[in-house]
Amino acid sequence: MDRNLGILVAALLLVASTCESAIFNPVSESHRSAASELLSSADGSFGSLEETYEALKTFEVLGIEKKPDIRTSACVSAVKILSSTSSALKDLFHALRVNGVLKCELNDQAFPGIGSKLKDSLNGASSLLDFYYSIGGLILIKDQTSEVDVHISDADRIFRSIKALSQSDGRWRLNSNNPESSNDAAGIALEALSGVISLASSEIDSSLIATLKNDISKLFDGVEKYDDGTCYFDEKLVDAHGHKGPLSASASIVRGITALAAVSSENLNLPGEKVLGLAKFFLGIGIPGSAKDLYYQIDALSCLESIRGSVPLILSLPATVLSVTKKDQLKVKVSTVLGSAAPPLSVKLMQIFVSGSKDASVIDQKLKFDPENSVHVLETLPTNVDVGNYIFSFEIIFDEPEHKNKYATGGRTRVPIHVTGVIKIDSAEIAILENDLGSVETQKKLDLPGESAVALSANHLQKLRLSFRLTTPSGQVFKPHQAFLKLKHDSGVEHIFVVANSGKKFEIILDFLGLVDKFFYLSGTYDLQLTVGDSVMENSFLQPLGHIELDLPEAPEKAARPPPQPVDMYSRYGPKAEISHIFRVPEKRPPRELSLAFFGLVILPFFGFLAGLFHLRANLKNFPKSIHATFAILFHLGIAAVLSLYALFWFKLDLFTTLKTLGLLGIFLMFVGHKTLSHLASTSAKLKTT
Amino acid sequence: IIDLYIVFAVVTALIQIAYVAVVGSFPFNSFLSGVLSCVGTAVLAVSLRIQVNKENKEFKDLPPERAFADFVLCNLVLHLVIMNFLG
């Protein structure tokens, strides 16, 4: 009865709650190392004074030691600006901020001059930023020296002037000419107004402060929310540099409300849930990638650390994956956003929800506090927690009731927990069954997930049956995400089957008669492999079981061919075998001496010809005389030249050169030949006639 | 003289054939060009002889100088081709 009521209440709460679960961790060492990395400068300076101040503030909050050269270069720039009489308002403000952090050696005479300059700017200010810088500067002077009187006499007027720039939705405009309002400006305005309140020489009208409270609540009405309880202020306009976004807007407002909460004598009644939501937003972005974003995050968190009235406390878990088998203990840590210790409190595990279902159980168990490590420990998980995904709902209860007004815990915190364990596999067996009768032909027991190598054989008329049971550590039936049986043929063709569960058992029956087609009629040895896996199963396995000889009938003509197996990439695209080039075997040449002998033999007929000529008493009596002899000689020389040209052609000239030269020689030869032969012809004609 | 020349050319061709018979026909183009140059020049000499022979009625009107000029020209062309083919 009680349990039923508990479940009903839990179900109602589940329906009523819209928050999802998420985990937020406070600032840690990773933020410090990110800061050291992002904010490292080569020459000790960070660019502008504004960036220098941001870097210094980040280092200060995170507790990182500054390098001395940073201090020197920053101080030099700050002192220069503070000592100069013509510095701009914005530069004075940033220089004062840097001086406030570093406490540079500044001439005390400079402060009165700066103070009066700021007061003059304040009196003549019209835009929000002018007010902000002047008032901010005066507050910084107040902190740095007591010699200058920074009180403002007409605080009411200044308050109203700033207030005049506000809009009805709680946002502020930057000046009266600009109709656009933004959350960032609202934060700046709140900071400025808190400055006015602290610097006022006389008490500000309480009605004005009441309107301010109204503005803040309207501002919080416009806050954006995520399902996991994170809240942030978004900006409609993003400027060209992209600096104005949800991070800078939220950081600006946090600074504003922190400053206001600090100076206001009454409680601002800030909504605790939303302040915690803002803290979760800043922590939820993790480690920002840029120095500016890191500054916004750290600065906002440092403000939230000490905001009056609702300091957010963060519940975090060092480990969210617990093993039932190893009997891991659930550890919970509660701290402020910067990781500092929380006030004395206790943590109770109120409910456990099962992810993805409506089941829930009410636990209401207090965790034990370990003061050495500052963690709250749940030594043993409740008995009904088996392997799976759960959402644990925690509640923080303060030891001293008045802390409830100082800290914001957000009621119940829901955290996703992943519980794993070793799953027991038993009753595993593999069998070959006769098709019609279902009688067992071969049956073998398997030892899963250990080694097993069964050797089975079956034909297409039989069936293969594999069955096993999976049990969780607490004895419940377990349904894994994956349970596959793979059959792989020698040729590489694979078939994967899902092992279904029926009730308590996992079983698969492969009827080969029906699968003959799917197996492409490939007979032979198939390797069996069983895969069982789940994210909560610590002993997921992929186990070869052995092999089965399948005897399938011949494939008919129209049967599908098995898919081509992927070629081994290395064999296809890898280096190929080296080809040794087979050179043409050179022809057998005769021995040199033989060739030379024949050369001699070939020359012989020529000498024979000459001898014959001599024998025949060949003579040159008919050789032309006097002037014609020249032509005759030239004719013979021309022929000799052509023959030597041919010889040159064979040795080294190419055909084109040869033909060109031959053309020229031919023309010459024609001319002299014609001359000689026509002379000879006319001589012999004269002889004939006489 | 021309007959002697013809005999000389033919004997040279025969010696080259004998050489190829002994050592093989590589490089064949060289063998061919050598043999054909001898044979070609022999053929041209034969045609010169025919043209120059006074007893030949066909070439009665052709002056022997002209035949000789043709013989020289054809030989030069033949030997150009031969040298190209010789390799």
For residue A566, the model assigns a pLDDT of 72
Which H or E run contains A551? strand A541-551
B18 CB neighbours in chain A (<8 A) are 598
For residue A208, the model assigns a pLDDT of 82
**pLDDT class of A3 with cuts at 50, 70, 90:** low
B8 CB neighbours in chain A (<8 A) are 605-606, 608-609, 612
- How far, in Å, CA of A532 to CA of A542, rounded? 6
Judged against a pLDDT cut of 70, whether residue B82 lies above it is answered with yes
- Residue scoring higher pLDDT (A241 or A570): A570
B17 CB neighbours in chain A (<8 A) are none
**pLDDT class of A15 with cuts at 50, 70, 90:** very low
For residue A18, the model assigns a pLDDT of 43
- The alpha-carbon gap from A564 to the nearest alpha carbon of chain B, in Å, equals 53
Is B65 at the interface with chain A, CB within 8 A?
A: yes
- How far, in Å, CA of A458 to CA of A550, rounded? 5
**pLDDT class of A239 with cuts at 50, 70, 90:** low
For residue A240, the model assigns a pLDDT of 58
**C-alpha distance from residue A659 to each of A13, A452, A651 (Å):** 110, 89, 15
Judged against a pLDDT cut of 70, whether residue A238 lies above it is answered with no
The DSSP call for residue A64 is P
Closest CA to A264 of A312, A215, A213: A213
Burial level of A592, CB count in 10 A (0-12/13-18/19+)?
A: exposed
Could you count the other beta carbons within 10 Å of the beta carbon of residue A292?
18
A643 CB neighbours in chain B (<8 A) are 79
For residue A1, the model assigns a pLDDT of 53
**pLDDT class of A5 with cuts at 50, 70, 90:** low
- The alpha-carbon gap from B79 to the nearest alpha carbon of chain A, in Å, equals 8
Judged against a pLDDT cut of 80, whether residue A348 lies above it is answered with yes
Asked if B63 lies within 8 A of A655 by C-beta distance, the reply is: no
- The alpha-carbon gap from A628 to the nearest alpha carbon of chain B, in Å, equals 15
Contact at 8 Å (CB) between A251 and A185? no
Mean pLDDT of the region A148-167: 84
Asked if A616 lies within 8 A of B1 by C-beta distance, the reply is: yes
Contact at 8 Å (CB) between A251 and A292? no
- The alpha-carbon gap from A493 to the nearest alpha carbon of chain B, in Å, equals 59
Is A620 at the interface with chain B, CB within 8 A?
A: no
Beta strands, E only, A211-367? 224-225, 231-232, 311-316, 321-323, 330-336, 345-354, 360-366
Asked if B72 lies within 8 A of A589 by C-beta distance, the reply is: no
Asked if B66 lies within 8 A of A616 by C-beta distance, the reply is: no
Is A595 at the interface with chain B, CB within 8 A?
A: yes
Q: Name the average pLDDT for chain A.
A: 83
Nearest-by-Cβ selection for B16 from A602, A618, A673? A602
Is B8 at the interface with chain A, CB within 8 A?
A: yes
The amino acid sitting at A32 is: R
Judged against a pLDDT cut of 70, whether residue A483 lies above it is answered with yes
- Residue scoring higher pLDDT (A164 or A561): A164
- pTM for this one? 0.64
Mean pLDDT of the region A69-81: 83
For residue A30, the model assigns a pLDDT of 85
Nearest-by-Cβ selection for B1 from A618, A647, A684? A618
Judged against a pLDDT cut of 60, whether residue A56 lies above it is answered with yes
- How far, in Å, CA of B16 to CA of B20, rounded? 6
The chain A residue lying nearest B35, using CA atoms, is A602
Asked if A681 lies within 8 A of B66 by C-beta distance, the reply is: yes
Is A318 at the interface with chain B, CB within 8 A?
A: no
- The alpha-carbon gap from A579 to the nearest alpha carbon of chain B, in Å, equals 29
Asked if B15 lies within 8 A of A605 by C-beta distance, the reply is: yes
Which of A599, A651, A677, A684 to substitute to test the interface with B, most B CBs within 10 Å? A677
Asked if A649 lies within 8 A of B4 by C-beta distance, the reply is: no
**pLDDT class of B43 with cuts at 50, 70, 90:** very high
Which 3 state secondary structure label does DSSP give A662? helix
Asked if B83 lies within 8 A of A649 by C-beta distance, the reply is: yes
For residue B42, the model assigns a pLDDT of 92
- How far, in Å, CA of A445 to CA of A356, rounded? 36
Tell me the HSE value of A10 on the side-chain side, using a 13 A CA sphere.
Answer: 22
**pLDDT class of A16 with cuts at 50, 70, 90:** very low
For residue A17, the model assigns a pLDDT of 44
- How far, in Å, CA of A192 to CA of A136, rounded? 7
How many structural domains compose chain B?
1
The DSSP call for residue A341 is B
For residue A2, the model assigns a pLDDT of 53
Q: What is the pLDDT of residues A406-445, one digit of tens each?
A: 888 888 888 888 999 898 888 888 888 887 776 777 888 8
For residue A498, the model assigns a pLDDT of 92
Q: State the complex-level ipTM.
A: 0.88
Nearest-by-Cβ selection for A598 from B1, B19, B27? B19
For residue A496, the model assigns a pLDDT of 92
- The alpha-carbon gap from A585 to the nearest alpha carbon of chain B, in Å, equals 13
Mean pLDDT of the region A658-665: 90
For residue A241, the model assigns a pLDDT of 55
Judged against a pLDDT cut of 80, whether residue A191 lies above it is answered with yes
Instruction: Please give the structure tokens belonging to residue A433.
Output: 């069954």
CB-defined contacts A:B, below 8 A: 76
Which of residues 15 through 54 in chain B touch A, CB cutoff 8 A? 15-16, 18-19, 22-24, 26-27
Nearest-by-Cβ selection for B23 from A590, A612, A616? A590
A594 CB neighbours in chain B (<8 A) are 22-23
Long-range CB contacts (within 8 A, 24+) of A654-657:
A655/B84
**Range in A250-254, A329-333, B26-30 with the lowest mean pLDDT:** B26-30
B68 CB neighbours in chain A (<8 A) are 677
Q: What is the pLDDT of residues A272-288, one digit of tens each?
A: 888 888 888 988 888 88
B24 CB neighbours in chain A (<8 A) are 587-588, 590
Judged against a pLDDT cut of 60, whether residue A612 lies above it is answered with yes
- How far, in Å, CA of A145 to CA of A104, rounded? 13
Is A642 at the interface with chain B, CB within 8 A?
A: yes
Backbone angles phi, psi at A337, to 5 degrees: -65, -30
| Residue A26 CA, distance from chain mean position | 23
The amino acid sitting at A102 is: L
User: Which string of DSSP letters, residue by residue, matches A26-52?
Assistant: ---HHHHHHHHHHT--SSS--SSHHHH
Entry field: residues in chain B: 87
Is A477 at the interface with chain B, CB within 8 A?
A: no
Asked if B23 lies within 8 A of A612 by C-beta distance, the reply is: no
| Helix A246-263, helix A291-305: angle, nearest 10 | 30
**pLDDT class of A690 with cuts at 50, 70, 90:** low
**pLDDT class of B40 with cuts at 50, 70, 90:** very high
Is B86 at the interface with chain A, CB within 8 A?
A: yes
Domain containing B19 equals: 1-86
- How far, in Å, CA of B66 to CA of B52, rounded? 9
Alpha helices in A245-361 (DSSP H): 246-263, 272-284, 291-305
Judged against a pLDDT cut of 70, whether residue A14 lies above it is answered with no
- How far, in Å, CA of A338 to CA of A63, rounded? 11
For residue A224, the model assigns a pLDDT of 87
Instruction: Please give the structure tokens belonging to residue A538.
Output: 């610590």
Instruction: Please give the structure tokens belonging to residue B74.
Output: 């054809």
Asked if A595 lies within 8 A of B23 by C-beta distance, the reply is: yes
Judged against a pLDDT cut of 70, whether residue A450 lies above it is answered with yes
A618 CB neighbours in chain B (<8 A) are 1
Mean pLDDT of the region A255-259: 90
- Residue scoring higher pLDDT (A469 or A178): A469
- How far, in Å, CA of A491 to CA of A413, rounded? 57
